[in-house]
Each structure stands twice: as C-alpha cells, then as structure tokens.
Amino acid sequence: MQNRELNRRDFSRLTAAAFGGMLAGVGFAQAAEDKKDTTKSPLLFEPHVCRGLNTCKGKDPQKDNACAGQGNCATVAAHSCKGENACKGQGACGAKPGENACKGMGGCEVPIAKDEMWKKVRKRFEEVMAKEGKKVGPAPAKKA
C-alpha cells in the first residue's frame, strides 16, 4: 500500500464530497417529512393557521406548548387578506377554514381574527384529531 500525503486539492475534494453527502441526507429526510397523505385533512399537518390548532407538543412558534391543541399562535406566515395563503391548508376562512385546497384559495387573514371563525375551525380540528385517535389539550385563551 502506498503512503501518500494529502494535499490541499485532495482535501478540498474530500470535503466537498462529504458535505454533498450530508446535504443529500438532509434532502431525503426533508422529502420524507414533507410527504403527506393527501386524503387527510390539512388540519392534521403543520404548519397551522391559528392558536390551538397545533398537531403535537412543541409545534408553536415558541415551541413551549405541552401538547396538541395548546399552541398560542399560527406557524403559517401571517397574511392579511383572502387568497394570500402560500399553500394548501393555510387559509383561515371560507367553508373549510384551515382546509383550503391549494395556494391562493384561502378565505381570509392568518392568524384568524374573528372569534366565530376560530371556534368553527377549532371544533373541526378537534373532530379531525379525534377521528385519527389523537388527543387534544384544552384550547389556549385568546390574547388580549
């Protein structure tokens, strides 16, 4: 076996290969995480549109909620008007708040401003979670 010293070019190539491998691993893990069952309600997935709609512990912007349904705020990017949602399930109003079909199909602002709309989506969230056999904690109080 030949004993050869590592020069800077060899070191650069090996470093680039190792870094590329790390990125590929992260990409595969992210792709697996992003793969969602499209037959299930968007309310079963993150991000969510308002307080009390998080799917499990730590799914709150501050990551301090104790369990599902106790987050204090939306994790979806805030937007102020109908049709400004970036993705499926990120609209806050309409016939199925938090369950819109795709980008631009949301009914109103995020986080949800109207109490009656929040109550409607929270009730639906509880129904969907119960159907999946998932427990939901008590809803957090509305911030003043």
Place of tokens 């307080």: 51
Look at the pTM and tell me if it is higher than 0.75.
Answer: no
3-state helix, strand, coil in the chain (%, to 5): 35, 0, 65
pLDDT number for residue 129: 92
What residues make up the domain containing 20? 1-35
CB of 122 within 8 A of CB of 142? no
Residues 58 and 71 in one domain: yes
Question: Does the structure show a pLDDT above 60 at 29?
Answer: no
**What sign results for the dihedral spanned by CA atoms 114, 118, 121, 127?**
negative
Do residues 49 and 86 share a domain? yes
Same domain, 23 and 40: no
Same domain, 56 and 3: no
Q: Are residues 55 and 94 in the same domain?
A: yes
Say how many domains are in the chain: 2
Q: How far apart are CA 96 and CA 61, in angstroms?
A: 24
- My answer on whether 67 and 133 are in the same domain is yes
Residue 23, both tokens:
């990125």
